[in-house]
Structure 1
Amino acid sequence: MLPDGFPGQRLRVLPRPLVASALRRAPTSGLLVTDAGYFPSAANHGMHRPRSAPEAIVIVCTDGVGHCEVDGRVSVIRPGNALVLPPSRPHFYWADSRDPWTIWWLHAAGSQVSELLSVVAPDGGEAVIEVRDAYRAVSAIDDAISFLERDETLPHLISASGAGWTLLAQLAADALTEANQPTEPVRQAQEYLRHNFAKPVIVKELARTAGLSPSHFAALFRTAAGCGVVEYAKRLRMARARELLATTSRDISEIARTIGYNDAFYFSRTFRREHGCSPSEYRRGKN
């Protein structure tokens, strides 16, 4: 890192006694942003921590290229990637010499951090996440920096912590989405069901259209959606039923037919099993 930093940079680091104090009291004991910054075109930037850092580190790259080495593994970080480093893990990261990265970053400590990191990196190691909404991730770090720039009073520490939680929750969701990204045939089947959930669901026909065996198709679908094909269609039907019950005066039998149930009594039993109340009771509770 250059002696005077990088032109246009922003940087906030909380005093360590303040960090220790904040981690002993709620709500910052759950998650506290201890450091945050923005380094544009960070030529010659690098950080070698052979003894690791006590906090989790998140670096979101918006331009250029960076590298990170952990346990002999070298990862490349490109625009749209987030590098997540768990606490107590030695590491070395640096800007590419020919195309240095621009990064938004923060450090976070607290009891909730490990829970969020267990989703981002289940193996407990470092992770490079494909950020699905980079603008939102940058906005969260920008908010954290802005709150810490105002002052270091508890209200602004709490606000910065909220921004940090938003960032880690977004990355956890992105990591799950990346891990369960549906294959193209499954994605097409999900899209078909979203537009045709009122029609009879025949798994064999969906599999045939996808060019897969029923068993293979069903396994892929369950992995991507977290449930089977019939259950997925039922959830879509129930969501539409709730919408119609809350926003229209249609009678129950008409709603049942609209979402694919020819038998209104069967629809009512299914609805009660899923929601713990009848369609009529649900409607009264919404009005």
Structure 2
Amino acid sequence: MKNKALVKAGFIGEKMTVIPRGLLKEYSDSAINRDLYLTDIGYFPKALYHFRKRPKGCSEHILIYCIEGQGTVGIEKNIHHLKPNSFLIIEANKSHYYYSDKENPWSIFWIHYSGNHSQEIYRRFAGQNYGRPIIIPFEKNRIAEFEYLIDIFKNGLSKEIFEYSSMLLYKTLGSFIHYSLKSSKKTESNHDQLINNIINYLNEHIYETVKIEDISKAFNKSPSSIFTLFKQKTGHSLIHHFNLLKIQKACELINLTSLSIKEISFQLDFQDPLYFSRLFKKYMGVPPSKYKKNL
């Protein structure tokens, strides 16, 4: 890269917060912050000539989220191309460089983060995707979360605000990591859509008794294939999931209505209130009468 690629004046519309290292040392050791905290965060729009090179790496992990344009990221011997709606995490202490495309410069949100959980978060990303960029659907909420995380430091750099940023950081990184784990599963698509449709069906019939034969008929699948697939995808049986949905609905009815426990039992199609009470206690730890009293 030529010297002109090194930007000194910044980019029009950029946002950036760098936590002063003195404060960072003081704040990052608290019980809330030590597991995950940010050190730097920003947004560079249309970042023409944006270039960074760190032969010895960076002490923090770096997430780069490209929302338009494109750029290149080199990590040790691997070269990756970031395109719109894609992100990449650079592992801490790994030699790397990155730069924006001259013809179509990228607009990126970026964040440096560290903490006891930071390496595990990176492993969740790299273990499923071999450290490659991940295409992620554009969501306004994700952009808003990033912007909010940048903007909260306008109110100052108190310990309380820094702790708040650490709490928000879990959610922000989680939205990326969850999708990277999900996108790596080759059996996504049809099977996952079927499970989602079955769960929607259960919610729509929450006040009824639903048997696996009913679902088999509704989705034109054999009972055994539905039972096996549901168990594989959710980790538990279909009847367990349906009972859990019913108990959640029971809690809602206890909280928001004046119905008696017996009436709620019948409304959810439990014809034996004693069985309903036992099932409620199994999931909630207390019988419905005590749950209602505790409210």
Report the TM-score when normalising by structure 1: 0.82
Residues 14, 281 of structure 1: alpha-carbon distance in 2 compared, 3 angstrom cutoff: closer
Alignment pair present for 1:161 and 2:166:
yes
Unaligned runs of 5+ in 1: none
Per-residue CA distance 1:210-257 (angstroms, 9 max, x = gap): 454444433332343332211111111111111112222223333222
Distance in 2 between residues matched to 1:37 and 1:63, nearest whole Å: 15
SS in 2 for 1:94: strand
Alignment pair present for 1:259 and 2:264:
no
Counterpart code for 1:282:
Y
Distance in 1 between residues matched to 2:17 and 2:227, nearest whole Å: 50
Structure 1 counterpart of 2:3: none
The sequence identity of aligned pairs, in percent, is 25
CA contact 2:230–2:236 (8 Å) conserved in 1: yes
Cα deviation, residue 159, structure 1: 3.9
Cα deviation, residue 75, structure 1: 4.2
SS in 1 for 2:274: helix
Return the match for 1:230 from 223, 229, 239: 239
Distance in 1 between residues matched to 2:165 and 2:258, nearest whole Å: 45
Distance in 1 between residues matched to 2:225 and 2:51, nearest whole Å: 47
Structure 1 counterpart of 2:195: 186
SS in 1 for 2:282: helix
Distance in 2 between residues matched to 1:44 and 1:223, nearest whole Å: 48
Question: Over the residues paired in the alignment, what is the CA RMSD in angstroms?
Answer: 3.1
Counterpart code for 1:57:
I
Residues 143, 259 of structure 1: alpha-carbon distance in 2 compared, 3 angstrom cutoff: same
CA contact 1:56–1:87 (8 Å) conserved in 2: yes
Cα deviation, residue 283, structure 1: 1.4
Matched positions, count: 286
Structure 2 counterpart of 1:197: 206
Structure 2 counterpart of 1:62: 67
Structure 1 counterpart of 2:34: 29
Residues 126, 277 of structure 1: alpha-carbon distance in 2 compared, 3 angstrom cutoff: same
Q: Between 77-86 and 223-232, report the one with greater CA deviation.
A: 77-86
Alignment pair present for 1:93 and 2:102:
no
Residues 85, 226 of structure 1: alpha-carbon distance in 2 compared, 3 angstrom cutoff: farther
Distance in 2 between residues matched to 1:269 and 1:145, nearest whole Å: 49
Distance in 2 between residues matched to 1:70 and 1:222, nearest whole Å: 39
Structure 2 counterpart of 1:268: 277
Cα deviation, residue 196, structure 1: 1.1
Distance in 2 between residues matched to 1:247 and 1:156, nearest whole Å: 35
Structure 1 counterpart of 2:248: 239
Per-residue CA distance 1:172-222 (angstroms, 9 max, x = gap): 444455467552222221211110133333334534544544444333323
Cα deviation, residue 161, structure 1: 3.1
Counterpart code for 2:263:
E
Structure 2 counterpart of 1:38: 43
Distance in 2 between residues matched to 1:99 and 1:219, nearest whole Å: 48
Q: Between 134-143 and 114-123, report the one with greater CA deviation.
A: 114-123
Distance in 2 between residues matched to 1:15 and 1:270, nearest whole Å: 54
CA contact 2:129–2:184 (8 Å) conserved in 1: no
Cα deviation, residue 46, structure 1: 3.3
Return the match for 2:82 from 71, 77, 83: 77
Residues 252, 100 of structure 1: alpha-carbon distance in 2 compared, 3 angstrom cutoff: same
Distance in 2 between residues matched to 1:206 and 1:93, nearest whole Å: 51
Cα deviation, residue 140, structure 1: 3.4
Q: Between 201-210 and 54-63, report the one with greater CA deviation.
A: 201-210
CA contact 2:128–2:180 (8 Å) conserved in 1: no
CA contact 1:50–1:90 (8 Å) conserved in 2: yes
SS in 2 for 1:169: helix
Report the TM-score when normalising by structure 2: 0.80
Distance in 2 between residues matched to 1:195 and 1:176, nearest whole Å: 29
CA contact 1:61–1:79 (8 Å) conserved in 2: yes
Structure 1 counterpart of 2:17: 12
Distance in 2 between residues matched to 1:279 and 1:156, nearest whole Å: 40
